[in-house]
Amino acid sequence: MADFVLKDAFDLAFVERLAQACKTLHNAFDQKAFLTAALPENWTAFSLKARMRHLSLQLGKHLKGDYPEQLQVILALAPQFNGLAGMLFPDFVEVHGQADPDRSIAALAALTPYLSSEFAVRPFLQQHPERMLQQHLAWAEHASEHLRRLASEGIRPRLPWGQDVPWVKKNPALVLPILEKLRNDPSQYVRRSVANNLNDISKSHPDLVLELAQRWKGQSAATNALLKHALRGLLKKGHPLALQLFGFRGDLAFELATVHITPTTLAIGEKLKFEFSLRHAGLAPAQYRLEYLLHYVKMNGSLRPKVFQIAERTLQPGESWLIRRQHSFEERTTRKHQPGIHQLQLQINGQLQGLYNIELLPI
């Protein structure tokens, strides 16, 4: 979803409801003054994170008492609000509670079931590394799946939107004991976080993740699925060992029929269609993983490849597989297309095949 949609979690109705809830919890709360400060004239131009941070700051200014007193109001507010707007309450702790880690870390644990505290724990990880490592290990054994997920998600080396924690990125081996505790977690919600954490680590320390994957592989169906998701980046890159772990050999005998592309010249906003046939020429059944790369033209004229998965399938000796796909060049918030010569390339079990030019015209 685009940012202009997400930020509406903190719309006028939310701010008014928040003000009323604060007034109900604390009669001395100046509801009118808060609304005036919380909704400046340029409020509609604020991004999602800017709105959240502004509201956190204004709550700190308008809630009566010191941080421990204000925190009690925040803990009472959180259960009253669902969805993305719940990010506000851990953010309040991040903004106002860094000098009081004892109360703040306990509060983040209490708040995470309403909406994860994964972003708010980041400055505490940076300031108190040893303490937070032990805290995440403890959360990994908690009865609540929300706390177990926080144990993994909060300490991801490359958490999207999250504050950078350099020591985690530099030495991710410190994180592995936490992930070890969670690899067979009964909650898919938790296991998916473990996979995302490992995928983060694989971007800078692939050998570390591959060594772990070899130890975990085959322990359970759930763990195998976790590893498949964790190694998705390495699989897309055609890493031989990652492919071998899941039975995708790079030395297969196959025949690739001519690739048909229509049209080879199209305008931004239109769709490209392509098809090809693959025949397995080996003497025994084999697993195939098919992907295609679209080499996009960048603003400076260079090409940047992006990998798209097609499918995986086991083929019998002599069996053929007909693949038909289409690729959209529609403009999106996250991807703006540049006119020029783009290129399509197939990837079969990590091996690149062919290179086909596609001319993209301006709208």
The residue segments making up the domain with residue 83 are: 1-120
Q: Is residue 46 part of a domain?
A: yes
* Residue 265 pLDDT exceeds 70: yes
DSSP type of residue 84? G
Last residue of a domain, one of 216, 246, 276: 246
Coil, strand or helix at 147? helix
Q: What's the total number of domains in the chain? A: 3
* pTM of the model as a whole: 0.92
Predicted local distance difference test score (pLDDT) of residue 4:
45
- Choosing from 55, 90, 120, the residue where a domain stops is 120
Helix (H) or strand (E) holding 171: none
Domain C-terminal end among 246, 271, 295 = 246
The pLDDT of 241-260, averaged and rounded, is 95
Band of pLDDT at residue 335, cut at 50, 70 and 90: confident
- The β-bridge relationship of strands 254-256 and 271-280 is antiparallel
How sure is the predictor about 284, in pLDDT bands with cuts at 50, 70 and 90?
Answer: very high
Classify residue 241 by burial, with Cβ atoms within 10 Å: 0-12, 13-18, 19+. Answer: middle
296 vs 334, higher pLDDT: 296
Q: Does residue 128 lie within any of the structural domains?
A: no
The SS3 call for residue 301 is coil
